[in-house]
Structure 1
């Protein structure tokens, strides 16, 4: 079985199990790092994420992932995606439309590779950010990373 369909199946099952407790699976990462293989699960709820929510999510998915013969990991991490969360999916863009974001691009857009402003539009081929009154259209294929960038 190819790795990507397996990951999609794991993602779907974890999302379904968490949803039974009112917890959204925000993202899932399989990473190999210096200290071992890590399965990272990022969760969210309408009221935010606290320690009790992380504990509940951990207990909800641990037996499932521990019993998958094709999933080999050393550490399971469950956390909130944070206030500067990465925006990857269309549903993320819809959810955070009108919020301040930071976008880094692989090539310059209007002479820069880093743009900070308000996310004002999302289209299949591009997003639009309002920065200091100017609308900047960023082609999606140039986006390296996009994350919330709240004023703190």
Structure 2
């Protein structure tokens, strides 16, 4: 069995999801795990978010140490952690789970949008993830309005920039992540620690 299969089977066997697996040339094996997501039942309130704990990371670390040794797969250092506030979105279920959240999106190639203020060469966007009207593809919605600094005065005559939307398919995406936005007035997102050897 190879790296991917061993790590995937170990993580899923412990009731967790494998978010990312990274191997570096220096022998670092970095495993990112998350709790499985169960969509809320229709008519039921969404459950409170739950996060990976240090104990979850320790459990995966212990099991991987054993299995990687048994399989003869060499590494220098093993890190197991949670996805953090800039969690990558890789699969359709990730997009469904985080619909309505602010994301950072990088496309594989620019999507030229005619009759729009979007530059034809633009590939990076930050905005709200939404399901497109066709119910199949996705869209990102944003405004290029600069963020106001606390106490900054804005003229009442100044019109806000319009909202823009860009439809995309998952096959168009090079990388998508939750936007790491921290609200210091209250906890909006949380990412408990990780275990490193």
Tell me the TM-score normalised to structure 2 length: 0.61
Q: What is the aligned partner in structure 2 of residue 51 from structure 1?
A: 54
Q: CA RMSD in A?
A: 2.6
Q: Which has the higher contact order (CA 8 A, sep 6+)?
A: 2
Tell whether the 8 Å contact from 1:39 to 1:76 is kept in structure 2 after alignment: yes
Q: What is the aligned partner in structure 2 of residue 117 from structure 1?
A: 127
Structure 2: any 5+ residue segments left out of the alignment?
A: 36-48, 114-118, 144-162, 183-197
Tell whether the 8 Å contact from 2:11 to 2:33 is kept in structure 1 after alignment: no
1:148 Cα offset (Å): 0.3
Q: What is the aligned partner in structure 1 of residue 12 from structure 2?
A: 16
Structure 2 residue aligned with 1:89, among 67, 88, 91?
Answer: 91
Aligned residues: 141
Higher strand fraction: Structure 1 or Structure 2? Answer: 1
* Higher Rg: 2
Quick check: 132-141 or 97-106, which moved more?
A: 132-141
1:89 Cα offset (Å): 1.2
Tell whether the 8 Å contact from 1:18 to 1:25 is kept in structure 2 after alignment: no
Tell whether the 8 Å contact from 1:103 to 1:146 is kept in structure 2 after alignment: yes
Tell me the TM-score normalised to structure 1 length: 0.77
Structure 1: any 5+ residue segments left out of the alignment?
A: none
Q: What is the aligned partner in structure 2 of residue 106 from structure 1?
A: 108
Tell whether the 8 Å contact from 1:37 to 1:74 is kept in structure 2 after alignment: yes
